[in-house]
Chain A
Amino acid sequence: MFLISCPWCGERDQTEFHCHGEAHIARPENSLEMDDAAWGDYVFFRKNVKGVHLERWTHDHGCGRWFNAARNTATDEFLAFYKPGEAPPADLERVS
Protein backbone atom coordinates (compact mmCIF):
# COMPACT_ATOMS: atom_id res chain seq x y z
CA MET A 1 0.00 0.00 0.00
CA PHE A 2 1.21 3.47 -0.81
CA LEU A 3 0.83 6.95 0.53
CA ILE A 4 0.07 9.27 -2.36
CA SER A 5 0.53 13.03 -2.37
CA CYS A 6 -2.32 14.59 -4.30
CA PRO A 7 -1.03 17.91 -5.71
CA TRP A 8 -4.18 19.59 -4.39
CA CYS A 9 -4.96 17.74 -1.12
CA GLY A 10 -1.63 16.50 0.17
CA GLU A 11 -0.71 13.04 1.45
CA ARG A 12 -3.53 10.48 1.56
CA ASP A 13 -4.00 6.71 1.60
CA GLN A 14 -3.75 4.86 -1.72
CA THR A 15 -7.30 3.50 -1.40
CA GLU A 16 -8.63 7.02 -2.09
CA PHE A 17 -7.04 6.97 -5.55
CA HIS A 18 -7.39 5.19 -8.84
CA CYS A 19 -4.63 4.66 -11.39
CA HIS A 20 -5.39 5.21 -15.09
CA GLY A 21 -2.22 3.91 -16.71
CA GLU A 22 0.46 5.50 -18.85
CA ALA A 23 0.43 9.31 -19.00
CA HIS A 24 1.27 11.74 -21.80
CA ILE A 25 -0.44 9.79 -24.61
CA ALA A 26 -1.90 12.50 -26.81
CA ARG A 27 -5.03 11.71 -28.79
CA PRO A 28 -4.09 11.87 -32.50
CA GLU A 29 -5.53 14.84 -34.33
CA ASN A 30 -5.55 13.21 -37.76
CA SER A 31 -7.58 10.11 -36.85
CA LEU A 32 -9.40 10.06 -40.20
CA GLU A 33 -6.12 9.56 -42.06
CA MET A 34 -4.63 7.01 -39.67
CA ASP A 35 -4.32 3.37 -40.74
CA ASP A 36 -5.31 0.43 -38.51
CA ALA A 37 -1.77 -0.11 -37.28
CA ALA A 38 -1.33 3.48 -36.10
CA TRP A 39 -4.77 3.57 -34.50
CA GLY A 40 -4.27 0.19 -32.73
CA ASP A 41 -0.91 1.42 -31.53
CA TYR A 42 -2.51 4.51 -29.99
CA VAL A 43 -5.39 2.62 -28.35
CA PHE A 44 -3.79 -0.59 -27.10
CA PHE A 45 0.02 -0.65 -27.15
CA ARG A 46 1.81 0.56 -24.01
CA LYS A 47 5.38 0.94 -22.81
CA ASN A 48 4.60 -1.01 -19.61
CA VAL A 49 8.10 -0.20 -18.37
CA LYS A 50 9.94 -1.91 -15.54
CA GLY A 51 11.44 1.22 -14.04
CA VAL A 52 10.27 4.83 -14.02
CA HIS A 53 6.64 4.91 -15.17
CA LEU A 54 4.79 8.18 -15.82
CA GLU A 55 1.15 7.54 -15.05
CA ARG A 56 -2.22 9.20 -14.49
CA TRP A 57 -4.15 9.07 -11.22
CA THR A 58 -7.45 10.45 -9.96
CA HIS A 59 -8.22 11.33 -6.35
CA ASP A 60 -11.63 9.62 -6.50
CA HIS A 61 -12.48 9.75 -2.79
CA GLY A 62 -11.07 13.23 -2.31
CA CYS A 63 -11.04 16.21 -4.63
CA GLY A 64 -11.83 14.03 -7.67
CA ARG A 65 -9.16 15.71 -9.77
CA TRP A 66 -6.61 14.21 -12.14
CA PHE A 67 -2.85 14.40 -11.75
CA ASN A 68 0.29 12.66 -12.94
CA ALA A 69 2.86 10.69 -11.00
CA ALA A 70 6.26 9.16 -11.65
CA ARG A 71 6.71 5.80 -9.96
CA ASN A 72 9.36 3.11 -10.19
CA THR A 73 7.36 -0.02 -11.08
CA ALA A 74 10.21 -2.27 -9.96
CA THR A 75 10.00 -0.99 -6.37
CA ASP A 76 6.62 0.85 -6.24
CA GLU A 77 8.48 3.94 -5.00
CA PHE A 78 6.89 7.25 -6.01
CA LEU A 79 9.41 9.76 -7.38
CA ALA A 80 7.22 12.76 -8.18
CA PHE A 81 3.66 14.07 -8.36
CA TYR A 82 2.74 16.83 -10.81
CA LYS A 83 -0.35 18.53 -12.17
CA PRO A 84 -1.85 17.91 -15.62
CA GLY A 85 -0.23 20.10 -18.25
CA GLU A 86 3.08 20.18 -16.37
CA ALA A 87 6.12 18.39 -17.76
CA PRO A 88 7.53 15.50 -15.72
CA PRO A 89 10.57 16.40 -13.58
CA ALA A 90 13.74 16.13 -15.64
CA ASP A 91 16.01 14.18 -13.30
CA LEU A 92 13.85 11.08 -12.75
CA GLU A 93 16.24 8.54 -14.20
CA ARG A 94 18.94 9.66 -11.80
CA VAL A 95 16.59 9.41 -8.81
CA SER A 96 15.76 5.79 -9.57
Chain B
Amino acid sequence: MSRYSVFSLVRNAFSYHQNWQRAWRSPDPKREYDVVIVGGGGHGLATAYYLATECGITNVAVIEKGWLGGGNTGRNTTIVRSNYLWDESAALYGHAMQLWQGLSQALNYNVMYSPRGLLHLAHSVHDMQEIQRRGNAIYLNGIDSEFLSPEQVREMVPFMSMEGRYPVLGALLQKRGGTARHDAVAWGYARAADAAGVDIIQNCEVTGFDIQDGTVTGVQTSRGRIGAKTVGVVTAGHSSVMAEMAGFRMPLESFPLQALVSEPVKPVVDCVIMSNGVHAYISQSDKGELVIGASSDAYNSYTQRGSYDIIEDTLQAICEMYPLFTRMRMLRQWGGIVDVTVDRSPIISKTPVRNLYFNCGWGTGGFKCTPGSGHVFAHSLANGDMHAIAAPFSMDRFNSGALVDEGAASAVAH
Protein backbone atom coordinates (compact mmCIF):
# COMPACT_ATOMS: atom_id res chain seq x y z
CA MET B 1 0.00 0.00 0.00
CA SER B 2 1.36 3.43 -0.87
CA ARG B 3 1.46 5.93 1.96
CA TYR B 4 -0.55 9.12 1.88
CA SER B 5 1.73 12.15 1.94
CA VAL B 6 2.20 15.50 0.29
CA PHE B 7 4.39 13.73 -2.29
CA SER B 8 1.70 11.19 -3.18
CA LEU B 9 -0.74 14.08 -3.52
CA VAL B 10 1.56 15.85 -5.98
CA ARG B 11 2.33 12.61 -7.86
CA ASN B 12 -1.37 11.83 -8.30
CA ALA B 13 -2.14 15.39 -9.34
CA PHE B 14 -0.13 14.72 -12.53
CA SER B 15 -2.65 12.03 -13.50
CA TYR B 16 -5.65 14.17 -12.50
CA HIS B 17 -6.22 11.98 -9.42
CA GLN B 18 -7.46 9.12 -11.61
CA ASN B 19 -4.94 6.54 -10.37
CA TRP B 20 -5.22 6.51 -6.59
CA GLN B 21 -4.81 3.01 -5.23
CA ARG B 22 -7.96 1.53 -3.67
CA ALA B 23 -7.95 2.09 0.09
CA TRP B 24 -8.48 -1.63 0.84
CA ARG B 25 -8.82 -4.90 -1.07
CA SER B 26 -12.05 -6.84 -1.47
CA PRO B 27 -10.85 -10.44 -1.05
CA ASP B 28 -12.86 -13.67 -1.12
CA PRO B 29 -13.01 -15.29 2.30
CA LYS B 30 -10.43 -17.98 3.06
CA ARG B 31 -11.53 -21.34 4.52
CA GLU B 32 -10.16 -20.55 7.95
CA TYR B 33 -8.71 -17.69 9.98
CA ASP B 34 -6.99 -17.43 13.34
CA VAL B 35 -9.44 -14.72 14.34
CA VAL B 36 -12.77 -13.76 12.77
CA ILE B 37 -14.24 -10.40 13.80
CA VAL B 38 -18.00 -10.16 13.22
CA GLY B 39 -18.98 -6.57 12.51
CA GLY B 40 -17.12 -4.02 10.37
CA GLY B 41 -17.80 -0.90 12.37
CA GLY B 42 -15.18 1.23 14.06
CA HIS B 43 -14.69 -1.06 17.06
CA GLY B 44 -14.41 -4.21 14.93
CA LEU B 45 -12.00 -2.65 12.44
CA ALA B 46 -9.91 -1.20 15.28
CA THR B 47 -9.76 -4.65 16.87
CA ALA B 48 -8.50 -6.16 13.60
CA TYR B 49 -5.95 -3.37 13.18
CA TYR B 50 -4.45 -3.83 16.65
CA LEU B 51 -4.49 -7.64 16.28
CA ALA B 52 -2.44 -7.34 13.09
CA THR B 53 -0.09 -4.53 14.11
CA GLU B 54 0.45 -5.08 17.85
CA CYS B 55 -0.41 -8.70 18.57
CA GLY B 56 1.27 -10.30 15.55
CA ILE B 57 -1.92 -12.04 14.38
CA THR B 58 -2.44 -11.17 10.72
CA ASN B 59 -4.57 -14.14 9.65
CA VAL B 60 -7.70 -12.15 10.53
CA ALA B 61 -11.01 -11.51 8.77
CA VAL B 62 -13.55 -8.78 9.46
CA ILE B 63 -17.01 -9.87 8.30
CA GLU B 64 -19.58 -7.16 7.71
CA LYS B 65 -23.17 -7.76 6.57
CA GLY B 66 -23.50 -4.32 4.97
CA TRP B 67 -20.79 -1.79 4.21
CA LEU B 68 -17.97 -0.57 6.45
CA GLY B 69 -19.02 1.91 9.08
CA GLY B 70 -22.64 1.83 7.90
CA GLY B 71 -24.07 1.18 11.34
CA ASN B 72 -23.56 3.27 14.44
CA THR B 73 -20.05 4.32 13.35
CA GLY B 74 -21.64 6.38 10.59
CA ARG B 75 -24.63 7.46 12.69
CA ASN B 76 -23.18 9.03 15.84
CA THR B 77 -22.51 12.71 16.50
CA THR B 78 -18.70 12.29 16.41
CA ILE B 79 -18.04 13.40 19.98
CA VAL B 80 -14.88 12.34 21.81
CA ARG B 81 -14.51 12.72 25.59
CA SER B 82 -13.39 10.78 28.65
CA ASN B 83 -15.11 12.57 31.56
CA TYR B 84 -16.47 9.47 33.31
CA LEU B 85 -16.96 8.98 37.04
CA TRP B 86 -15.56 5.58 38.02
CA ASP B 87 -11.93 4.43 37.98
CA GLU B 88 -12.70 1.52 35.64
CA SER B 89 -14.28 3.87 33.09
CA ALA B 90 -11.52 6.46 33.47
CA ALA B 91 -8.97 3.76 32.62
CA LEU B 92 -10.90 2.64 29.53
CA TYR B 93 -11.99 6.00 28.11
CA GLY B 94 -8.71 7.66 29.14
CA HIS B 95 -6.84 4.93 27.24
CA ALA B 96 -8.94 5.75 24.17
CA MET B 97 -8.26 9.46 24.58
CA GLN B 98 -4.51 8.86 24.55
CA LEU B 99 -4.83 6.79 21.37
CA TRP B 100 -6.98 9.48 19.69
CA GLN B 101 -4.14 11.95 20.04
CA GLY B 102 -1.75 10.04 17.79
CA LEU B 103 -4.30 8.18 15.68
CA SER B 104 -4.02 10.10 12.40
CA GLN B 105 -0.24 9.59 12.37
CA ALA B 106 -0.48 5.92 13.38
CA LEU B 107 -3.03 5.13 10.66
CA ASN B 108 -1.55 7.46 8.01
CA TYR B 109 -5.13 8.69 7.61
CA ASN B 110 -6.54 12.01 8.81
CA VAL B 111 -9.29 11.16 11.29
CA MET B 112 -9.71 14.89 11.97
CA TYR B 113 -9.52 14.53 15.75
CA SER B 114 -10.25 18.04 16.98
CA PRO B 115 -9.77 18.70 20.72
CA ARG B 116 -11.99 21.76 20.59
CA GLY B 117 -13.19 21.50 24.19
CA LEU B 118 -16.32 19.94 25.60
CA LEU B 119 -18.62 21.87 27.94
CA HIS B 120 -20.95 20.02 30.28
CA LEU B 121 -23.47 22.55 31.63
CA ALA B 122 -25.10 22.54 35.08
CA HIS B 123 -28.60 24.03 35.37
CA SER B 124 -29.51 23.33 38.99
CA VAL B 125 -28.05 22.77 42.43
CA HIS B 126 -28.23 19.05 41.80
CA ASP B 127 -26.37 19.43 38.49
CA MET B 128 -23.69 21.50 40.25
CA GLN B 129 -23.22 18.80 42.88
CA GLU B 130 -23.06 16.12 40.20
CA ILE B 131 -20.39 17.90 38.12
CA GLN B 132 -18.37 18.70 41.24
CA ARG B 133 -18.40 15.09 42.37
CA ARG B 134 -17.62 13.80 38.90
CA GLY B 135 -15.14 16.57 38.06
CA ASN B 136 -13.08 15.85 41.17
CA ALA B 137 -13.19 12.10 40.51
CA ILE B 138 -12.03 12.68 36.94
CA TYR B 139 -9.27 14.98 38.16
CA LEU B 140 -8.05 12.36 40.66
CA ASN B 141 -7.83 9.89 37.78
CA GLY B 142 -5.44 12.21 35.96
CA ILE B 143 -7.92 13.24 33.26
CA ASP B 144 -8.20 16.93 32.50
CA SER B 145 -11.32 18.70 33.73
CA GLU B 146 -11.98 22.26 34.86
CA PHE B 147 -14.90 23.95 36.58
CA LEU B 148 -16.16 27.08 34.87
CA SER B 149 -18.17 29.91 36.40
CA PRO B 150 -21.19 31.27 34.48
CA GLU B 151 -19.02 34.22 33.41
CA GLN B 152 -16.43 31.87 31.90
CA VAL B 153 -19.18 29.94 30.10
CA ARG B 154 -20.55 33.20 28.70
CA GLU B 155 -17.10 34.09 27.44
CA MET B 156 -16.84 30.75 25.58
CA VAL B 157 -20.42 30.73 24.23
CA PRO B 158 -21.64 34.34 24.09
CA PHE B 159 -24.86 33.49 22.24
CA MET B 160 -26.20 31.08 24.86
CA SER B 161 -29.32 32.09 26.79
CA MET B 162 -28.15 31.68 30.39
CA GLU B 163 -31.00 33.21 32.39
CA GLY B 164 -34.03 31.73 30.66
CA ARG B 165 -35.84 28.48 31.21
CA TYR B 166 -32.55 26.57 31.62
CA PRO B 167 -30.31 28.84 33.72
CA VAL B 168 -26.59 28.01 33.59
CA LEU B 169 -25.01 27.89 37.05
CA GLY B 170 -21.66 26.51 35.98
CA ALA B 171 -19.99 23.96 33.74
CA LEU B 172 -17.38 21.24 33.56
CA LEU B 173 -14.90 21.66 30.72
CA GLN B 174 -12.76 18.91 29.20
CA LYS B 175 -10.32 20.71 26.90
CA ARG B 176 -9.07 17.53 25.18
CA GLY B 177 -12.67 16.55 24.42
CA GLY B 178 -14.04 17.43 21.02
CA THR B 179 -14.86 15.65 17.81
CA ALA B 180 -13.36 13.32 15.20
CA ARG B 181 -14.59 12.49 11.71
CA HIS B 182 -16.55 9.26 12.24
CA ASP B 183 -16.32 7.87 8.67
CA ALA B 184 -12.60 8.58 8.52
CA VAL B 185 -12.11 6.53 11.69
CA ALA B 186 -13.72 3.48 10.04
CA TRP B 187 -11.92 4.03 6.74
CA GLY B 188 -8.57 4.76 8.39
CA TYR B 189 -8.69 1.60 10.50
CA ALA B 190 -9.90 -0.44 7.50
CA ARG B 191 -7.09 0.80 5.26
CA ALA B 192 -4.40 0.27 7.88
CA ALA B 193 -5.74 -3.16 8.88
CA ASP B 194 -5.92 -4.22 5.22
CA ALA B 195 -2.34 -3.07 4.69
CA ALA B 196 -1.30 -5.23 7.65
CA GLY B 197 -2.89 -8.31 6.01
CA VAL B 198 -6.43 -8.35 7.40
CA ASP B 199 -9.16 -9.55 5.00
CA ILE B 200 -12.17 -7.22 5.08
CA ILE B 201 -15.23 -9.01 3.72
CA GLN B 202 -18.27 -6.80 3.14
CA ASN B 203 -21.82 -7.82 2.17
CA CYS B 204 -21.37 -11.06 4.08
CA GLU B 205 -23.87 -11.76 6.84
CA VAL B 206 -23.18 -14.13 9.70
CA THR B 207 -26.13 -16.52 10.04
CA GLY B 208 -24.87 -18.84 12.76
CA PHE B 209 -21.95 -20.14 14.81
CA ASP B 210 -20.37 -23.58 14.59
CA ILE B 211 -19.97 -24.73 18.19
CA GLN B 212 -18.45 -28.10 19.13
CA ASP B 213 -18.27 -29.22 22.77
CA GLY B 214 -18.81 -25.67 23.95
CA THR B 215 -16.04 -24.24 21.76
CA VAL B 216 -16.61 -22.08 18.72
CA THR B 217 -14.97 -23.43 15.55
CA GLY B 218 -16.28 -21.09 12.89
CA VAL B 219 -19.14 -19.01 11.57
CA GLN B 220 -21.83 -19.73 9.00
CA THR B 221 -22.25 -16.83 6.60
CA SER B 222 -24.17 -15.85 3.49
CA ARG B 223 -20.93 -16.72 1.62
CA GLY B 224 -20.48 -20.12 3.21
CA ARG B 225 -18.69 -21.45 6.27
CA ILE B 226 -15.61 -19.67 7.55
CA GLY B 227 -13.53 -21.51 10.13
CA ALA B 228 -12.05 -19.62 13.07
CA LYS B 229 -9.95 -20.45 16.11
CA THR B 230 -11.28 -17.35 17.87
CA VAL B 231 -14.36 -15.24 17.12
CA GLY B 232 -14.90 -11.67 18.34
CA VAL B 233 -18.43 -10.33 17.97
CA VAL B 234 -18.64 -6.54 17.72
CA THR B 235 -22.16 -5.99 16.41
CA ALA B 236 -23.56 -3.18 18.60
CA GLY B 237 -27.37 -3.10 18.42
CA HIS B 238 -27.59 -6.64 17.03
CA SER B 239 -25.50 -8.25 19.78
CA SER B 240 -28.53 -9.93 21.34
CA VAL B 241 -29.37 -11.44 17.94
CA MET B 242 -25.82 -12.82 17.66
CA ALA B 243 -25.93 -14.13 21.24
CA GLU B 244 -29.18 -15.97 20.51
CA MET B 245 -27.45 -17.72 17.57
CA ALA B 246 -24.74 -18.83 19.98
CA GLY B 247 -27.28 -20.06 22.52
CA PHE B 248 -27.19 -17.52 25.36
CA ARG B 249 -28.75 -14.19 26.34
CA MET B 250 -27.13 -10.80 26.95
CA PRO B 251 -27.99 -8.16 29.58
CA LEU B 252 -28.87 -5.77 26.77
CA GLU B 253 -31.81 -3.95 25.27
CA SER B 254 -31.69 -2.31 21.83
CA PHE B 255 -33.18 1.15 21.38
CA PRO B 256 -33.27 3.64 18.49
CA LEU B 257 -31.10 6.72 19.05
CA GLN B 258 -31.40 9.58 16.62
CA ALA B 259 -29.50 12.69 15.64
CA LEU B 260 -29.95 15.48 13.13
CA VAL B 261 -27.96 18.13 11.29
CA SER B 262 -28.88 21.59 10.09
CA GLU B 263 -28.09 23.39 6.88
CA PRO B 264 -24.42 24.47 6.82
CA VAL B 265 -23.59 27.92 8.18
CA LYS B 266 -20.43 29.89 8.95
CA PRO B 267 -18.48 28.89 12.10
CA VAL B 268 -20.44 29.75 15.24
CA VAL B 269 -20.09 26.87 17.75
CA ASP B 270 -16.38 26.25 18.36
CA CYS B 271 -16.77 23.63 21.09
CA VAL B 272 -19.15 20.79 22.04
CA ILE B 273 -21.96 21.83 24.40
CA MET B 274 -23.92 19.26 26.39
CA SER B 275 -25.84 18.94 29.62
CA ASN B 276 -27.69 16.19 31.43
CA GLY B 277 -30.61 18.41 32.43
CA VAL B 278 -31.39 19.59 28.91
CA HIS B 279 -31.25 16.54 26.74
CA ALA B 280 -29.96 18.16 23.58
CA TYR B 281 -26.34 18.61 22.70
CA ILE B 282 -24.74 20.52 19.90
CA SER B 283 -21.51 20.96 17.98
CA GLN B 284 -20.64 22.18 14.50
CA SER B 285 -19.04 20.04 11.84
CA ASP B 286 -16.22 21.30 9.66
CA LYS B 287 -18.75 21.51 6.82
CA GLY B 288 -20.68 24.03 8.93
CA GLU B 289 -23.68 21.90 9.84
CA LEU B 290 -24.92 22.08 13.40
CA VAL B 291 -24.83 18.49 14.68
CA ILE B 292 -27.56 17.91 17.24
CA GLY B 293 -28.02 14.83 19.37
CA ALA B 294 -31.14 13.69 21.12
CA SER B 295 -32.47 11.11 23.57
CA SER B 296 -32.99 7.51 22.66
CA ASP B 297 -36.53 6.23 22.23
CA ALA B 298 -37.64 4.33 25.31
CA TYR B 299 -38.79 1.12 23.62
CA ASN B 300 -36.97 -1.85 22.07
CA SER B 301 -36.58 -1.54 18.33
CA TYR B 302 -34.29 -2.45 15.45
CA THR B 303 -35.78 -0.04 12.91
CA GLN B 304 -32.95 2.57 12.69
CA ARG B 305 -35.41 5.43 12.89
CA GLY B 306 -36.54 7.54 15.82
CA SER B 307 -39.79 9.14 16.95
CA TYR B 308 -40.79 12.65 15.91
CA ASP B 309 -41.70 13.64 19.46
CA ILE B 310 -38.03 13.19 20.42
CA ILE B 311 -37.01 15.63 17.67
CA GLU B 312 -39.57 18.11 18.95
CA ASP B 313 -38.29 17.83 22.53
CA THR B 314 -34.70 18.18 21.38
CA LEU B 315 -35.25 21.19 19.18
CA GLN B 316 -37.37 23.08 21.71
CA ALA B 317 -34.40 22.80 24.08
CA ILE B 318 -31.98 23.96 21.38
CA CYS B 319 -34.20 26.95 20.53
CA GLU B 320 -34.59 27.83 24.22
CA MET B 321 -30.85 27.67 24.93
CA TYR B 322 -29.71 29.19 21.63
CA PRO B 323 -32.30 31.71 20.34
CA LEU B 324 -29.84 32.43 17.51
CA PHE B 325 -30.77 29.09 15.90
CA THR B 326 -34.56 29.44 15.93
CA ARG B 327 -34.72 30.10 12.18
CA MET B 328 -32.25 27.39 11.16
CA ARG B 329 -33.56 24.58 8.99
CA MET B 330 -32.72 20.96 9.67
CA LEU B 331 -31.40 19.02 6.69
CA ARG B 332 -31.16 15.38 7.72
CA GLN B 333 -32.31 13.15 10.55
CA TRP B 334 -31.42 9.51 11.13
CA GLY B 335 -31.40 6.78 13.75
CA GLY B 336 -29.09 4.01 14.87
CA ILE B 337 -29.75 1.02 17.10
CA VAL B 338 -27.88 1.18 20.39
CA ASP B 339 -27.40 -1.77 22.74
CA VAL B 340 -27.88 -0.48 26.25
CA THR B 341 -26.83 -2.08 29.54
CA VAL B 342 -28.45 -1.10 32.83
CA ASP B 343 -25.22 0.40 34.19
CA ARG B 344 -24.50 2.28 30.94
CA SER B 345 -21.06 0.66 30.72
CA PRO B 346 -19.92 -1.63 27.90
CA ILE B 347 -19.44 -5.39 27.91
CA ILE B 348 -15.97 -6.57 26.82
CA SER B 349 -16.09 -10.17 27.78
CA LYS B 350 -15.69 -13.87 27.42
CA THR B 351 -18.96 -15.74 26.96
CA PRO B 352 -20.37 -19.15 27.93
CA VAL B 353 -18.90 -20.42 24.61
CA ARG B 354 -15.12 -20.94 24.63
CA ASN B 355 -13.09 -18.74 22.25
CA LEU B 356 -16.17 -16.64 21.50
CA TYR B 357 -15.83 -13.09 22.80
CA PHE B 358 -18.27 -10.18 22.77
CA ASN B 359 -17.52 -6.46 22.67
CA CYS B 360 -20.88 -4.69 22.95
CA GLY B 361 -23.17 -2.76 25.26
CA TRP B 362 -21.60 0.57 24.32
CA GLY B 363 -25.12 1.91 24.31
CA THR B 364 -25.50 5.51 23.30
CA GLY B 365 -21.80 6.38 23.49
CA GLY B 366 -19.37 3.97 21.85
CA PHE B 367 -17.75 6.16 19.21
CA LYS B 368 -15.53 8.05 21.65
CA CYS B 369 -13.90 4.82 22.78
CA THR B 370 -13.31 3.26 19.34
CA PRO B 371 -9.49 3.14 19.61
CA GLY B 372 -9.41 2.06 23.26
CA SER B 373 -12.09 -0.58 22.79
CA GLY B 374 -10.35 -2.09 19.76
CA HIS B 375 -6.98 -2.01 21.49
CA VAL B 376 -7.96 -3.81 24.70
CA PHE B 377 -10.24 -6.23 22.83
CA ALA B 378 -7.45 -7.17 20.41
CA HIS B 379 -5.06 -7.90 23.27
CA SER B 380 -7.76 -9.94 25.03
CA LEU B 381 -8.42 -12.04 21.90
CA ALA B 382 -4.70 -12.55 21.29
CA ASN B 383 -3.90 -13.65 24.85
CA GLY B 384 -7.07 -15.63 25.50
CA ASP B 385 -7.43 -13.64 28.70
CA MET B 386 -9.05 -10.27 29.24
CA HIS B 387 -6.80 -7.19 29.16
CA ALA B 388 -6.54 -5.54 32.60
CA ILE B 389 -8.48 -2.47 31.41
CA ALA B 390 -11.23 -4.65 29.91
CA ALA B 391 -11.54 -7.08 32.85
CA PRO B 392 -14.02 -5.01 34.94
CA PHE B 393 -16.39 -4.93 31.94
CA SER B 394 -17.04 -8.67 31.92
CA MET B 395 -20.66 -9.74 31.51
CA ASP B 396 -20.23 -11.65 34.78
CA ARG B 397 -20.68 -8.35 36.61
CA PHE B 398 -24.43 -8.62 36.06
CA ASN B 399 -24.38 -11.79 38.15
CA SER B 400 -21.83 -10.71 40.75
CA GLY B 401 -23.36 -7.24 41.18
CA ALA B 402 -20.07 -5.39 40.54
CA LEU B 403 -21.68 -2.90 38.14
CA VAL B 404 -19.84 0.14 36.77
CA ASP B 405 -22.69 2.61 37.09
CA GLU B 406 -22.13 5.47 34.66
CA GLY B 407 -25.73 6.62 34.29
CA ALA B 408 -24.80 10.25 34.97
CA ALA B 409 -21.69 10.46 32.81
CA SER B 410 -22.75 8.52 29.77
CA ALA B 411 -26.29 9.74 29.41
CA VAL B 412 -25.55 12.41 26.80
CA ALA B 413 -23.32 13.57 23.96
CA HIS B 414 -21.78 11.00 21.70
Contact = CB atoms under 8 A, between A and B. Distances in A.
A15 B295 CA distance: 14
Contacts of A55: 299-300
Contacts of A19: 298-300
A51 to B, nearest CB: 9
B233 to A, nearest CB: 14
Interface in B317-352: 339, 341-342
A53 interface: yes
A74 B302 CA distance: 5
Most chain B CB neighbours (cut-off 10 Å) among A37, A39, A44: A44
Contacts of A50: 238, 240-241, 254, 302
Contact of A14 (B241, B250, B309): B309
Given A40-B251, A41-B399, 8 more contacts: A19-B299, A21-B300, A22-B300, A40-B400, A40-B401, A46-B250, A46-B251, A73-B254
Contact of B398 (A14, A15, A44): A44
A6 B398 CA distance: 34
A1 B298 contact: no
Interface string A14-46: 110011011000000000000011011101111
Interface string A66-86: 000001011110000000000
A65 B240 CA distance: 30
A37 B307 contact: no
A73 B399 contact: no
Nearest to B248: A45
B301 interface: yes
A47 interface: yes
B249 A76 contact: no
12 contacts: A18-B298, A36-B401, A37-B399, A40-B400, A41-B399, A43-B398, A45-B249, A46-B240, A47-B240, A49-B244, A73-B300, A73-B301
Interface string B246-261: 0001111110000000
Given A14-B309, A40-B398, A48 B298 contact: no
Given A40-B399, A41-B399, A48-B250, A76 B303 contact: yes
B14 interface: no
Interface of B: 238, 240-241, 244, 249-254, 298-303, 307-309, 339, 341-342, 398-401
Contacts of B400: 36, 40
Contacts of A37: 399
Given A19-B298, A76-B301, A48 B254 contact: yes
B401 A48 contact: no
Contacts of A47: 240, 244, 249
Nearest to A69: B299
A72 B163 CA distance: 45
Contact of B303 (A39, A49, A75): A75
A73 B342 contact: no
B240 A49 contact: yes
Nearest to B340: A48
Contacts of B300: 19, 21-22, 48, 53, 55, 73
A39 B400 CA distance: 9
A44 B240 contact: no
Contacts of B307: 1, 14
B309 A46 contact: no
B404 to A, nearest CB: 13
A48 B399 contact: no
A55 B277 CA distance: 28
A36 B395 CA distance: 13
Contacts of B341: 44
Given A1-B308, A15-B309, A19-B298, A46 B399 contact: no
Contacts of B308: 1
A50 B250 CA distance: 13
Nearest to B398: A44
B71 to A, nearest CB: 14
A81 to B, nearest CB: 14
A45 B250 contact: yes
Contacts of B301: 73, 76
Nearest to B313: A15
A24 to B, nearest CB: 14
B247 to A, nearest CB: 13
A36 B399 contact: yes
B253 A1 contact: no
B395 to A, nearest CB: 9
A39 B241 CA distance: 22
Contacts of B302: 50, 73-74
Top 8 A-B residue pairs of the complex, sorted by shortest distance between their CB atoms: A40-B399, A48-B240, A19-B299, A44-B251, A44-B398, A45-B249, A36-B399, A40-B398
